[in-house]
Amino acid sequence: MCATALGGSGVLHPSTQKATPPSCQEKGESLADSVQTMSCYSDVLVLRHPQPGAVELAAKHCRKPVISAGDGVGEHPTQALLDIFTIREELGTVNGMTITMVGDLKHGRTVHSLACLLTQYRVSLRYVTPGNLRMPSDVFHFVASKGIKQEEFENIEEALPDTDVLYMTRIQKERFSSIQEYEACFGQFILTPHIMTRAKKKMVVMHPMPRVNEISVEVDSDPRAAYFRQAENGMYIRMALLATVLGRY
């Protein structure tokens, strides 16, 4: 079996030693044609694309299973799966938890998918973000429609005492139209050991990675810092997903 990963650059990266041809997107080939061509050589396609909705479009034109590896500022469903798994591993359950999401919630596809997936559980959501980087209205309203309580806070310290899962995200420099807009938001929310003294003794800090400066490296030694364990869980979840998809095919 061969799973092929197609990145937004148009370059295809085989996950095994089996050879696959290069993409022709740089020559003007459509995404639909690219995925149909790749389906001739692979059993599963894993697609990351800069445009929201691209994975859904690709799946309509592909006769093999397509797994989303993220579509621009849209969704990142496999990250949400590993996040849920991490919460269960760390705290034993997801139900009854208060999850606080911090940072760039507007552009963060990981928090979009996680917020939507969390509607399958009994949780409360808290958002700590600059005013111009709030959770998109479509995600906010979808979560609200499922009866999930959502609150917005101006700083981590205010939201932290009742938080069970602190989900930190970076301010995404590549999503801003100007460096001035980015610098106006950068560094507003940084988790430090001092701030962690306000947190519950049993809680977890998560991050989809990569980290820039939003979590002080001094927090890494805190047993509640779960982000590297979270990253490892991603390998297991994606292995399981590939096995599941290939087993059904």
Question: What are the pLDDT digits (tens) for 134-193?
Answer: 999 999 999 999 999 999 998 999 999 999 999 999 886 665 556 766 666 666 789 999
Q: pLDDT (tens digit, 9 = 90+) per residue, 48-60?
A: 887 888 888 888 8
Q: How confident is the model at residue 81 (pLDDT cuts 50, 70, 90)?
A: very high
pLDDT of residue 35: 83
Q: How confident is the model at residue 97 (pLDDT cuts 50, 70, 90)?
A: very high
Strand, helix or coil for residue 99: strand
pLDDT of residue 68: 86
Q: CA 170, CA 107: separation in Å to the nearest integer?
A: 10
Q: CA 205, CA 77: separation in Å to the nearest integer?
A: 20
Above 50 in pLDDT, residue 15? no
Give first-to-last CA distance, the chain, whole Å: 11
Domains and CATH numbers, the chain: 3-72 (3.40.50.1370), 77-231 (3.40.50.1370)
Q: For a pLDDT cut of 90, what percent of the chain falls above it?
A: 55
pLDDT of residue 221: 98
Q: Stretch 114-142: mean pLDDT, rounded?
A: 95
Q: Stretch 74-80: mean pLDDT, rounded?
A: 88
Q: CA 218, CA 214: separation in Å to the nearest integer?
A: 12
Per the model's pLDDT, the better-predicted residue between 29 and 194 turns out to be 194
Q: Is-cis flag, bond preceding 210, omega within 30?
A: yes
Instruction: Please state, as a whole number, how many other Cβ atoms lie within 10 Å of the Cβ of residue 134.
Output: 15
pLDDT of residue 244: 92
Q: pLDDT (tens digit, 9 = 90+) per residue, 16-45?
A: 334 444 556 666 778 888 888 888 888 898
Above 80 in pLDDT, residue 13? no
For the stretch 215-248, what's the b/e string if a residue is b when 16 or more beta carbons lie within 10 angstroms of its beta carbon?
bbeebeeeebbbbeebbebbeebbeebbeebeee
Of the listed ranges 8-17, 64-73, 77-86, 180-189, the least confidently predicted one is: 8-17
Above 90 in pLDDT, residue 234? yes
Element (H, E) at 167: strand 165-168
CA 213 to mean position of chain CA atoms: 18
Residue whose C-alpha is closest to residue 24's, from 5, 11, 42, 13 = 11
In this structure, what are the phi and psi dihedrals at residue 205, rounded to the nearest 5 degrees? -105, 125
pLDDT of residue 3: 52
Helices and strands (H and E) in the chain: how many: 9, 9
Q: How confident is the model at residue 1 (pLDDT cuts 50, 70, 90)?
A: very low
Residues 6+ apart with CB under 8 A from 171: 103, 104, 133, 182, 185, 186, 187, 188, 212, 214
pLDDT of residue 42: 87
pLDDT of residue 120: 97
Q: Average per-residue pLDDT in the chain?
A: 85
Rg (alpha carbons) of the chain, rounded to whole number: 19
Asked if residues 186 and 174 have their Cβ atoms less than 8 Å apart, the reply is no
Per the model's pLDDT, the better-predicted residue between 246 and 220 turns out to be 220
Cα dihedral 85, 199, 221, 215, rounded to 10, equals 80
